A and B are shown apart, each in its own frame.
Chain A
Amino acid sequence: MSTLTITDLHVTVETDQGTKEILRGVNLTINSGEVHAIMGPNGSGKSTLAYAIAGHPKYTVTSGTVTLDGEDVLAMSVDERARAGIFLGMQYPVEVPGVSVSNFLRTAKTAIEGEAPKLRTWVKDVKDAMAGLRMDPEFANRNVNEGFSGGEKKRHEILQMELLKPKFAVLDETDSGLDVDALRIVSEGVNRAKASTDVGILLITHYTRILRYITPDFVHVFVDGRIAEEGGPELADRLEAEGYDRFLTNA
């Protein structure tokens, strides 16, 4: 059992108008096997939270802590965090020209495991995971995310999650831009990973749609840089019906 703990996290970014505080005291604890959904209006800071956990250099943590089983995550570099077991599925995955998907996956797996995976089983694992996500095997030869459609990029993110087997995955709007079939396929991938590795999941989303496939244990409403309310799956339904107005007028 692992635990990712976020305590009173404050994060700023540099803008043209000066330093801007985006996260204003986030508290959140996720255990292995749990699914936490984070829902909130545009611009409330959800991606900022995801990037801050992963260690993107653009975001400065001004106070608070993030720990993984007691280890100080904020003291780790981006790659160390990934090797410690934190995975970020990005809202906008990045294209890397000239680097093939298969080379990328093998390099990442080697970095995370500390040794190269056994060739035979690795090739099979990749093939099976791609088949599970209905990705054409040809994607292995393409350059990372280059010319991928929005949905293909998201499948590729989940493919990485299934193969790299993190302890915790932050999935930033993995559902946006997916049609119904793709949504189901991607959700199945997440559920497979959860069943086989007991990964803890922080699922950032605008829509309750994906929560029909991936059942959250907790739902957090994110407003103006902090968690405004927490509840069970029923909270998601209420948000769907009422929107965020209730929180915004209070804020």
Chain B
Amino acid sequence: MPLLTTSDVGTDVHPGLKGPTDPTAGAHTHSAATMVPDQSRAERTQSYAVADFPVPHGREEDWRFTPVAELAALFADESTGNCLDWAEQLPQGVTLTSMSVQEWQATGAPRPADRAAVVAAANSGGVAVLDVPAEAELTEPVRINLTGDDQGVVHGHLLVRVGRHARATIVVGHSGTSTYSEMLTLDVADGAQVTFVSLQEWADDAIHLGQHDVIVGRDASVRHIAVTLGGHLVRLNTNASYRAPGGSFEALGVYFADAGQHLEHRLFVDHGVPHCRSNVEYKGALQGETAHTVWVGDVLIRAAAEGTDTYELNRNLILTEGARADSVPNLEIETGQIEGAGHASATGRFDDQQLFYLMARGIPEDQARRLVVRGFFASVVARIGVPEVQERLMAAIDLELEQASV
């Protein structure tokens, strides 16, 4: 039984005429006061069997924000034999091989947790395996660029293993178009330090569903970074768990939704062992009618997870009317012996006062807008720590804003 469960729903539809974004709105830190009973996150189904997951109709807790009617092709339990085009750059010592789905199951990798993921795992035809050897110190990122060239259904399955005490940065990019469902396991051994970046730079008509499972080894430190700019419908579920004490998980995300885009990020950090920390920071901007973003951040601190330290934050900036951002942090705490647990969620409209202030100093409107939006993202972008990703991201944000002003 959870000692404490809190859940906030922050939704901002059609931003009103009220004043500036309050950066502290919705921000709070929990001690041990409120109690809102809820189904525990621990009770959700996880299975390799497709039959364990009925096709969602859209009212399920984990699908309620998603336009499931558009996803029938990815819920169908059929293999297509399609794949994305792979281009990889592997630093010395890093290997790319494959294994069967049965072998992958035998590794004890976390199981699929929804219909799309179980279908992807059952129909991928095999698992690509990226290995970074123990104690490798990569000076260059591992790059995997995946490109789709038609809208056929693709099931992708990737296992990334980082050996003990290795240091690595891995960037997986997605571009072109596809109807893509992905199952990804990132298994990080003891003492390793990993930055994993998933870049969604899809064309306007792509669909991408993903389940990313991150396993953090003893004293390992893992940063999972999602950058979602393109695609018609993108939904990423990122789940983190700890194999042993001392692990650290950081999840950073940046998204920018235009008219016609649905960008959804769901995180689940499962603290099941003592003395681990997690930190989640996602920031998104929205512009244009029907732009829709969803952020759900679930954190579960199990009874055994004494000394946990966790914080999660989501901020959304609505640039034009008609866009909608849903933001739902959830914190379940089953032990009182924690270092700290907090969350913050805020959605605000673009602040005209900031724009006025900059323009009153002679800065033209488009440049002033750019400064404000870049400023909004600055804290999270600075923490990405992969220069090529940071630069591309900033350039992409500038481009998004330019496109909006024509």
B-binding residues in A (CB < 8 A) = 54-57, 77-79, 81-83, 87-88, 90, 93-99, 103-104, 107-108, 111-112, 143-144, 160, 164
Q: Name the distance in Å between A196's Cβ and chain B's nearest Cβ.
A: 19
Closest to A145 in B: B357
Q: Name the distance in Å between A249's Cβ and chain B's nearest Cβ.
A: 35
Tell whether, in the assembled complex, residue A79 and residue B365 are in contact, meaning their CB atoms are under 8 Å apart. Answer: yes
- A residues in contact with B379, CB < 8 Å: 97-98
- Flag B350-375 by CB within 8 Å of A: 1 or 0 each: 01111011111111110110011011
**Leading 8 A-B pairs by shortest Cβ distance:** A98-B375, A98-B378, A82-B362, A108-B361, A94-B357, A78-B359, A111-B362, A112-B362
Tell whether, in the assembled complex, residue A78 and residue B356 are in contact, meaning their CB atoms are under 8 Å apart. Answer: yes
Closest to A105 in B: B361
- B residues in contact with A81, CB < 8 Å: 360
Q: Name the distance in Å between A164's Cβ and chain B's nearest Cβ.
A: 7
**Distance of A82 Cα from B367 Cα, bound (Å):** 15
- A residues in contact with B367, CB < 8 Å: 107, 111
Tell whether, in the assembled complex, residue B374 and residue A164 are in contact, meaning their CB atoms are under 8 Å apart. Answer: no
Tell whether, in the assembled complex, residue B357 and residue A79 are in contact, meaning their CB atoms are under 8 Å apart. Answer: no
**Distance of A148 Cα from B24 Cα, bound (Å):** 16
Tell whether, in the assembled complex, residue B375 and residue A97 are in contact, meaning their CB atoms are under 8 Å apart. Answer: yes
Does B311 reach chain A (CB closer than 8 Å)? Answer: no
Pick the residue among A77, A87, A143, A164 that contacts B375 (CB under 8 A). Answer: A143
B contact residues, range = 20 to 34
Pick the residue among B351, B356, B365 that contacts A56 (CB under 8 A). Answer: B356
Tell whether, in the assembled complex, residue A160 and residue B356 are in contact, meaning their CB atoms are under 8 Å apart. Answer: no
Closest to B352 in A: A57
**Distance of A143 Cα from B357 Cα, bound (Å):** 14
Most buried by B among A56, A78, A95: A78
Q: Name the distance in Å between A38's Cβ and chain B's nearest Cβ.
A: 19
Known contacts A77-B365, A79-B365, A97-B23, A54 near B360 by CB under 8 Å: yes
**Distance of A22 Cα from B362 Cα, bound (Å):** 26
Closest to B361 in A: A108
Known contacts A96-B371, A96-B372, A82 near B359 by CB under 8 Å: yes
Does B376 reach chain A (CB closer than 8 Å)? Answer: yes
Tell whether, in the assembled complex, residue A93 and residue B362 are in contact, meaning their CB atoms are under 8 Å apart. Answer: no
**Distance of A133 Cα from B367 Cα, bound (Å):** 28
